[in-house]
A and B are shown apart, each in its own frame.
Chain A
Amino acid sequence: MDITRRHFFSRGSTGIGMAALGSLLAQDGFAGTETTHTGGLAGLPHFAPTAKRVVFLHQSGGPSQMDLFDYKPSLDKLSGTELPGSVRMGQRITGMTSGQSAFPVARSIFKFQRHGQSGAWVSELLPHTAKIVDDLAIIKTMNTDAINHDPAITFIQSGSQQPGRPSMGAWASYGLGSENRNLPAFVVMLSQAQALNPDQPLFSRLWGSGFLPSNHQGVRFRAGSNPVLYLHNPEGIDPATRREMLDAAGKLNRMHLDEFGDPEIETRISQYEMAFRMQTSVPDLLDLSKEPRSTFDLYGPDARKPGSYAANCLLARRLLERDVRFVQLYHRGWDQHNDLPRDLALQCKGTDQATAALVTDLKQRGLLDDTLVVWGGEFGRTVYCQGKLTETNYGRDHHPRCFTMWMAGGGVKRGFSFGETDDYCYNVVANPVHVHDLQATILRLLGVDHLKLTYKFQGRHFRLTDVHGEVVKEVLA
């Protein structure tokens, strides 16, 4: 029974009477600003958190590290030569290139420049990100165990290549609870590819609750008329009728509670009131009409298109402002097996400005200090070419041994670059950061000891980092 009583919305809402609710609505409908702590586990956080909330900008498909962040002038000379076995070291490769007769090294055709005081190298494809490098901690030595999309993306989101485990946001919701009574602790938004080649599917398990109670799963906010499933009253039922229906149901439920004494009935009553408040708070959250023009200048014109990556970035800021614990974005289309120059450029063009805008915006509002922004995909891409290598065109297969991610705000170092890869951008030379290390670090920033946030299931105490993971202390400010 204790499980059913941990809701992502408050137990504390129990007992809000009809009169109180009326006055709540009489405030400008901006119920979303109400901040109260609910749910979560006793004893958490374990440490003073430096990040109160997280936004994870997942770039699904695996962005190419050596075309974006991990500048390798060494490849100019190596381009076209066969990848030496001494570099590959028996690394298993996917079924898509394992049949290739040659593995020619492909340099990046994109220009790199140093930016900011930190002098970080950034590709010409990311001019906006280049302007915020002094706020970023760039990790060039991310590595993972998986070499294909399904296991790799499941791994980075849940700590296991195989399905069944809770996602990172679900763990955060379970462990830390919610800071907003009117919005879920864990919100998910998707946007579609710009790249022309087919993109990879996503799975709802990526924001699922695994063996945790299902109220910790991510709630999808979608573009369109019903941003949260079934949010709006059916046609023909206006708010006054809905209110009367809820009042009647509330009275009957209360009579039944008096008769049966089951506290679940009381919870049900409060959940119906919460649903009613969500009908106001969510549309209000999504209403961008009051955003000044400067916002759209910052995020770019796409931010006016519902469901675009830019719009999702802007909504992420509005969710974070309202203290939503974990905001997870997925942007599809980063799987450049072929036509990389064309498709990677399209992907960057569709995301770069909004990504940088989110960091800038959070900073301007003073939110970046306690909000962690994470950017990256599920793995990197190979230095060797998939398909035909020409002067202007190449493709890259999946690469697990090194890829680049960055974090910003929420207690990570600023203008910092971590880790070093070899001249081929194939192996880590110094300071590897495994996916489990990243997960441990994100939890640490949230004030959670990844060893102690566990859930007992099938006789075992499971955690996000499985039996691995070490906090990357070097990136902590």
Chain B
Amino acid sequence: MPAVRNEKWARNPIDRLVLARLEREGLQPSPEAGRATLLRRLSFDLTGLPPASAEVDAFLADNAADAYERQVDRLLALPQFGERMAMQWLDLARYADTHGFHIDSARDMWKWRDWVIDAFNRNLPFDRFGIEQLAGDLLPNATVQQKLASGFNRNHMINYEGGAIPEEYQVEYVADRVDTTANVFMGLTVGCARCHDHKFDPISQKDYYRFFAFFNTIAEKGLDGKNGNAAPILEMPTAAQASEVAWLQQAIVEHEAALPEKETQPLLAAWTVTQSKTRFATRAEPPRDGLLAEYTFEGNLADSSGNHRDGKMAKGTTPFGAGRPGQSAAFNGEAQLEFPGFSAERFAVALWMRSGALGEITVLEGGPGFDIGVTDSHPQPNDKRGSPLYVEFAGIRWHSDAIVYGGQWHHVALNFESGHPRLLLDGKPTRMLEVGKAERTPTGPVTIGDPHHDKPLKGDIGGLRIYGRALTPAEAEALALHEPVRYILAQDETKRTKEQNQRLLDYFLKYDAAPELRRVYAELNELKSRLAQTKQDIVTAQVMAEMAKPRDTFILGRGDYRNQGEKVTPGVPAMLPPMLKDAPANRLGMAQWLFSAQHPLTARVAVNRYWQLHFGTGLVKTTEDFGSQGDAPIQRDVLDWLASEFQSNWDVKAMQRLIVTSATYRQASQVNAELLEKDPENRLLARGPRFRLPAEMVRDNALAVSRLINRSIGGPSVFPYQPPGLWEELSRGETFTAQEYRESTGPDLYRRSMYTFWKRTVPPAALTTFDAPDREKCTSRRLITNTPLQALVLLNDPTYVEAARALAQRALLEVGSDSAARVRFLFREATARRGTQAELRVLLDLAQRQIEHYKKDPTQAAKLISIGASKPGNVEAVELAAWTTVASTILNLDETITKQ
């Protein structure tokens, strides 16, 4: 340790090293920051949240010599410590909730994220933290948690663009793992060596591909992620789920044994023969009483009711194809069919339909003024899309309670009588809800396909029947359930498809077999659907898992997957110490090598990032690049000393404690012109750190001081307020997940920002405005900008308006009616310090003017305080509105969003 003049100042070796440099430069350290400021700084750094006023009070009142150290220990022990540390790690690990390329549908990696939080909270030593994330799956007798940890290197983007070439993307995934691993653990930028030998650092192209080989043998597909997670996947059932699955599987086996094919097939065969000729055939006939028109689309538009109401192609063509039960007409969005119009007091329309559209479509309209269609489709459970039917009739618009699914056949029977439509969907009566006025009252011909060209029909239509009376439920059931079976039975047995035979069996076992068989079959179906649901609910994560037969790795000319050159074996870059002698020649051996005593980089890179976390800038400014092109460390001796300390035990909490208990960290952050001139970026640390909070903390601070915050830890990501349309304007839509933003409700609106659902192609707008990354790639430092768009967020985003109102309400309820006391309270809650007289005067003036203002305009007050999902308490609206503007002003102060 170097000699210093100001011995007294140094609290630990960091300080001696920092001070020695300051003294060489002719600089003096700053005095210690005020206690309130210091506790606020420390709370943000160790928990990401501001201190509560009571915590500040306790610290101010604590006269013990180690009062500060005890605050450090208190904060390190909080579960929010894990969250705070995880925030930095999620950037490095390019954690997100979607796959990132093209379709950008959802994935579930939150279990991995929760592992990270937990690992920090239980102070898992950094070497184990790293080894489990790089190769947890390869550890002997790996636990579920260790396998889960290996999800670190499955956080990369994954492609499911139709037409993309799998080999191309599989190489990109491996390259991403290489870049991320080298960057996060060694501060090396090896990407250059993918195409050629590194120009500046001694990393050859061969080194690159030998390192690449460690990550190239994962049982993954180049194109994946269509439905959630991409293989390899780790299933993590709860104990209850695991036993439920086992039980259901056993029960299904037993039920299937009770319905052996050798027994059911002869029964079915006998049934098909008798039923096709006898009772069933007549029972299942479409009713003909009152039939006005019938179109079966058997290659033409003829009316088979005998009423000669043949249809015609009005526009385009509708190819005829297989439908249900018989033929159907296919609509491409342009075609239109027209059938003679009719008028009737009471009538019924029945048809088969399969919608292929996303937006609202008109299916058919005309006659006595009806318009039947499907509303905008939305994601439904089990990766389906669906939407209610709409019906417009007699000037009113109704939506169905039941959902019709895209790409699935449905039978629709609608009775129109007494001005009401009554819907029987798939043979079952279902409610229609009145939603508003009708847009149209078409009375011309019956038209399938939208004649107005704004809700074009894409999909298939079959079996259209119009009746001059209402259908009974039994008749609707006959049309929906029995008639299709009758149709199959009427066909030549030898021409039935496999699917048709399956449907016959299903029908037979459901409706016409002996009671005992029907019971077993009903139970079997119930068990199967429960099993599917239970499996659906089991949480999974993408993890690393080796292929049974490992993929070979080749040097790729110019990094292109098509140019395979020399075959290589896994290995570490030649410029670094070799792997341990007895270590396995795989990812696990590589991970152990990173944490070996000989490795010169791992500890340095890690402590440098901790330094960045607390001081804003690393000792090596380029935390991502320790190579020859990176910045030289400003104080190499500090870096070396910290690294050797860290390497001795890899104790993460102890390392934070060491840094934040230093006198260097505890300095005040005021700066004068001279210091600004000599050290504008505060690299030498003659003053404490001062910089704007990271995006997450800007929001979390507002949620915390307003007490809106929901402190639950972990779990699936959430959807806080976001301006409408941001996802939808960019996304592909269709049946994919994460294409439409569905705002959370209730407490999920107020979760900490790190739990915000991170869609890579449209990352959370209010967070990216404050420099949060899109998480497409590993990010080791965020650049801090200062823009007017940030001002707009803090002033106008409902998140902050609601927080201001909730904070104001606290002032009203907790302080009493004295305006000066309220101002003092608000200022202190937001900044942790007591405002000066001059500061409080400014706010008091504002409060008084705004009270006058809202008294004159109470409707404005009512509007302001109703922003946000939470409801204002029992306080006077004018007062609350006025104080909301004061609280909002305070939440917008530079000091409020700054760690200083």
Q: Which residues of A contact B (CB under 8 A)?
A: 1-5, 7-9, 92, 94-96, 147-151, 162-164, 190, 192, 196, 198-205, 208, 213-215, 217, 219, 222, 224, 226, 228-238, 240-242, 244-245, 248-249, 251-253, 255-256, 259-265, 267-269, 271-272, 274-275, 278, 339, 342, 397-398, 456, 458-460
Contacts and interface: CB of A to CB of B under 8 A. Distances in A.
Given A164-B776, A222-B725, A236-B861, A460 B629 contact: yes
B101 interface: yes
Contacts of A190: 729-730
B791 A272 contact: yes
B777 A214 contact: no
Given A164-B776, A267-B786, A339-B332, A261 B672 contact: yes
Contact of A260 (B200, B776, B900): B900
B796 A234 contact: yes
19 contacts: A96-B163, A147-B165, A148-B164, A150-B159, A198-B732, A199-B732, A201-B761, A203-B730, A219-B789, A231-B796, A234-B867, A245-B889, A252-B839, A252-B889, A271-B787, A272-B892, A456-B629, A459-B192, A459-B200
B881 A224 contact: no
Contact of A230 (B200, B797, B866): B797
B525 to A, nearest CB: 34
A396 to B, nearest CB: 13
A259 B761 contact: no
B796 A230 contact: yes
Given A241-B850, A261-B676, A274-B788, A268 B165 contact: no
B787 A201 contact: no
Give the interface centre of B162, B172, B795 by most chain A CB atoms within 10 Å.
B795
A236 B785 contact: no
B625 A198 contact: no
Given A96-B162, A236-B867, A253-B894, A196 B625 contact: no
A245 B783 CA distance: 29
B475 interface: no
A150 B102 contact: yes
Contact of A231 (B334, B774, B792, B866): B792
B756 to A, nearest CB: 15
B529 to A, nearest CB: 30
B629 A201 contact: no
A213 B691 CA distance: 16
Interface stretch (B1-9, B340-348, B696-704, B841-849): B841-849
Give the 9 A-B CB pairs with smallest separation, nearest first: A236-B864, A459-B629, A94-B163, A236-B863, A275-B791, A458-B189, A275-B788, A203-B761, A274-B788
B268 interface: no
A348 to B, nearest CB: 16
B612 interface: no
Contact of B625 (A262, A267, A275, A458): A458
B624 A458 contact: yes
A226 B790 CA distance: 15
A58 B763 CA distance: 22
Given A248-B889, A253-B894, A458-B191, A3 B783 contact: yes
A229 B192 contact: no
A226 to B, nearest CB: 6
Given A95-B162, A256-B895, 7 more contacts: A162-B172, A196-B333, A201-B104, A203-B104, A214-B785, A251-B842, A253-B894
Interface string B857-900: 00011111111000000000000010001001100111100101
Contact of A233 (B201, B223, B692, B795): B795
A242 B292 CA distance: 67
Interface of B: 100-104, 157, 159, 161-166, 172, 183, 189, 191-192, 200-201, 223, 332-334, 358, 456, 458, 562, 622, 624-625, 627-630, 669-673, 676, 680-681, 690-692, 723, 725, 729-734, 760-763, 765-766, 768-769, 771, 774, 776-777, 783-793, 795-798, 801, 836, 838-839, 842-843, 845-846, 849-850, 853, 860-867, 881, 885, 888-889, 892-895, 898, 900
B795 A275 contact: yes
B784 A271 contact: no
Nearest to B900: A260
Contacts of B866: 236
A265 B897 CA distance: 11
A427 to B, nearest CB: 19
Contacts of A205: 761, 774, 776
Given A163-B776, A202-B730, A252 B785 contact: no
A196 B801 CA distance: 41
A342 B624 CA distance: 51
Contacts of B103: 201
A249 B891 CA distance: 9
Given A148-B161, A222-B729, A275 B792 contact: yes
A229 B895 CA distance: 24
Contacts of A269: 894
Contacts of A149: 102, 161
B668 to A, nearest CB: 9
Given A148-B163, A252-B839, A459-B189, A235 B672 contact: no
Contacts of B723: 226, 229-230
A260 B846 contact: no
Contacts of B888: 245
B729 A192 contact: yes
B889 A260 contact: no
Contacts of B788: 9, 271-272, 274-275, 278
Contacts of A163: 100, 157, 774, 776-777
Nearest to A268: B894
B196 to A, nearest CB: 10
Nearest to B768: A214
A196 B456 contact: yes
B164 A95 contact: yes
Given A236-B865, A249-B892, A271-B790, A213 B783 contact: yes
Contacts of B627: 459
B782 to A, nearest CB: 8
Contacts of B671: 260-262
Contacts of B768: 214, 217
A324 to B, nearest CB: 15
B784 A3 contact: yes
Given A9-B787, A233-B795, A261-B670, A224 B725 contact: yes
Contact of A262 (B628, B690, B760): B690
A201 B895 contact: no
Nearest to A278: B788
A237 B885 contact: yes
Contacts of B864: 234-237
Nearest to B761: A203
B309 to A, nearest CB: 30
Contacts of B843: 248, 252
Given A163-B100, A459-B189, A235 B789 contact: no
A217 B773 CA distance: 12
Contacts of B692: 264
Contact of B669 (A150, A238, A242, A260): A260
A151 to B, nearest CB: 8
Contacts of A267: 786
A147 B162 CA distance: 11
Contact of B734 (A198, A219, A240): A198
Contacts of A192: 729
Give the interface centre of A92, A240, A458 by most chain B CB atoms within 10 Å.
A458
A129 to B, nearest CB: 25
Contacts of A214: 768-769, 771, 783, 785
A1 B621 CA distance: 12
Give the interface centre of B191, B332, B889 by most chain A CB atoms within 10 Å.
B889
A92 B165 contact: yes
A196 B458 contact: yes
B336 to A, nearest CB: 14
B867 A271 contact: no
A255 B681 contact: no
